[in-house]
Amino acid sequence: MINIRSEYKTILFFLSFIAIIYFVGSIQNGSPHGPGISTILFLLLIPISIIYTLILFFKYYKSENKQYLNSIYIISGIWILIFLFFNYHN
């Protein structure tokens, strides 16, 4: 079995999920009466990242491995980048 570090899994997951959101958003726009699928997927990313962060905290306190803490920093950095993108985007 291939053993991939936690940081690489985190980056790969977020990049692929954001790519899927962008791809779905380019194909299907939201209707005037409700949000589109891409908006729902983006809003679903919030609880997914919170649950993933809690799992990483548990793994970090259980094993004291620094890679789990680095993954938590990566998740925080991704959300800061998303916030800055939406804040300064026209």
pLDDT tens track for 28-47? 876 777 788 888 888 999 99
Q: What's the CA gap between 4 and 42, in Å, rounded?
A: 26
What is residue 16's predicted lDDT score, i.e. its pLDDT?
93
Q: Is residue 30 part of a domain?
A: no
Q: Name the CA dihedral angle for 19, 13, 50, 39, rounded to a multiple of 10 degrees.
A: 20
Residue 46 lies in a domain: yes
- Answer yes or no: is 69 within a domain: yes
Q: What's the predicted TM-score (pTM) here?
A: 0.80
How many domains are contained in the chain?
A: 1
The Cα 55–Cα 77 span in angstroms is: 17
Give me the domain span that covers residue 83: 36-90
Residue 50, domain member (yes or no): yes
Alpha-carbon Rg for the chain in angstroms: 15
Q: Quick check: is 26 in a domain?
A: no
Residue 13 in any domain: the answer is no
What pLDDT band is residue 1 in, cutting at 50, 70 and 90?
A: low
